């Protein structure tokens, strides 16, 4: 199908993009990599009056350090995240999860900020961002503000972004030396997760000192597995302690029901995959 007519704007700075978005009103759409938006436009499931293309804004691309924080521009592609040395050193969980996203063609075009702003609970990058305790910097007519990842994802495809705001940066506290694993279960290669688990742990002498665990596609937003985290801290990473911690994985979740799985099967998957991810991350 052919998209409905729309005005096309291609700003070269964040300020220009914010002005264009404010002028266009609530019927505008922002184009990042386009992997989710373009199919929706072609099927006329969305008919924006204005399309604002961020592809020309150089300041939205790249990875840099800011003291103890890693800063990733919202328009940085999955391909560049995969291959960035700073990400590999200080946010390895994000790199590992990005490796599982779709296929090379999608990873060359898709962007980290676009995936986060789209807020698909089955997407692979939301749970890692949550587990890494990232902060999202958004820009609007009143300036910039920072939203913790825990407060950013509000509901299915819904975030804390106002209609006149853009996601511009992802700020991640460095986790240098932490051990990580992203465990994903899907029916076919390159598909969205039925369930996935993002695990990052800091260990000393075989004891888990800190643990962060987040789940993909176990609700309308990514969720932290608080019960798992609490059960892991201060214990040796043995088969028994991992199994005991993983048994808390589905607590407080509200998994979707679709043609792939029902609620109970997803809860079972969450427990199994959490055990595998912890074992892989902790080296047990």
Judged against a pLDDT cut of 60, whether residue 24 lies above it is answered with yes
* pLDDT classification of 280: cutoffs 50, 70, 90: very high
Mean pLDDT to the nearest integer, 224-249: 97
Mean pLDDT to the nearest integer, 235-241: 95
**In contact, 59 and 13? CB cutoff 8 Å:** yes
CATH number of the domain located at residue range(s) 57-171 in this protein: 3.30.465.10
Mean pLDDT to the nearest integer, 8-34: 95
**CATH fold match for the domains 5-51 and 180-280:** no
pLDDT of residue 81: 98
Judged against a pLDDT cut of 80, whether residue 191 lies above it is answered with no
Q: Tell me phi and psi for residue 249, to 5 degrees.
A: -60, -40
pLDDT of residue 144: 98
pLDDT of residue 187: 81
Tell which wins on pLDDT, 218 or 36. Answer: 218
Mean pLDDT to the nearest integer, 264-274: 98
Mean pLDDT to the nearest integer, 163-171: 97
* pLDDT cut 90: percent of the chain above it: 87
Q: How does the average pLDDT of the chain come out, rounded?
A: 95
Judged against a pLDDT cut of 80, whether residue 62 lies above it is answered with yes
pLDDT of residue 283: 80
CATH architecture of the region 5-51: 2-Layer Sandwich (3.30)
DSSP code of residue 188: S
Q: For residue 202, count CB atoms less than 10 angstroms from its CB and return exposed for 0-12, middle for 13-18, buried for 19 or more.
A: middle
Judged against a pLDDT cut of 70, whether residue 88 lies above it is answered with yes
* pLDDT cut 70: percent of the chain above it: 99
pTM: 0.96
Domain boundaries, the chain: 5-51, 57-171, 180-280
Judged against a pLDDT cut of 70, whether residue 284 lies above it is answered with no
CATH number of the domain located at residue range(s) 180-280 in this protein: 3.30.390.50
* pLDDT classification of 190: cutoffs 50, 70, 90: low
* DSSP annotation string for 53-87: E-TT-GGGS-EEEETTEEEEETT-BHHHHHH-HHH
**In contact, 254 and 266? CB cutoff 8 Å:** no
Measured on CA atoms in the order 219, 125, 277, 245, is the torsion positive or negative?
negative
């Amino acid at each position: 199908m052919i998209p409905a007519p729309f005005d096309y704007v291609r700003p070269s700075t964040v300020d220009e993009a914010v002005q264009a978005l404010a002028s266009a009103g609530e019927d505008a759409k922002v184009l990042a990599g386009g992997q989710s938006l373009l199919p929706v436009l072609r099927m006329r499931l969305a008919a924006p009056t204005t399309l604002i293309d961020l592809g020309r804004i150089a300041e939205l691309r790249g990875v840099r350090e800011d003291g103890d924080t890693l800063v990733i521009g919202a328009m940085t592609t999955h391909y560049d995240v995969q291959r960035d040395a700073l990400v590999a050193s200080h946010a390895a969980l994000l790199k590992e999860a990005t490796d599982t996203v779709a296929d090379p063609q999608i990873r060359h075009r898709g962007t980290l900020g676009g995936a986060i702003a789209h807020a698909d609970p089955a997407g692979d990058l939301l749970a890692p961002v949550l587990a890494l305790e990232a902060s999202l910097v958004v820009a609007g007519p009143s300036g910039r503000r920072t939203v913790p990842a825990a407060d950013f994802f509000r509901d299915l495809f819904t975030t804390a972004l106002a209609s006149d705001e853009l996601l511009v940066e992802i700020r991640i506290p460095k986790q240098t030396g932490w051990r990580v694993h992203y465990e994903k279960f899907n029916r076919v290669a390159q598909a969205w997760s039925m369930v996935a688990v993002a695990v990052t742990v800091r260990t000393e002498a075989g004891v888990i000192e800190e643990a962060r665990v987040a789940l993909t596609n176990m609700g309308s937003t990514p969720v932290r597995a608080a019960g798992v985290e609490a059960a892991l801290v201060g214990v040796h990473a043995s088969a028994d302690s991992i199994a005991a911690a993983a048994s808390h994985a589905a607590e407080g979740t509200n998994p979707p029901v679709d043609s792939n799985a029902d609620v109970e099967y997803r809860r079972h998957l969450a427990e199994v995959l959490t055990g595998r991810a912890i074992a892989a991350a902790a080296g047990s």
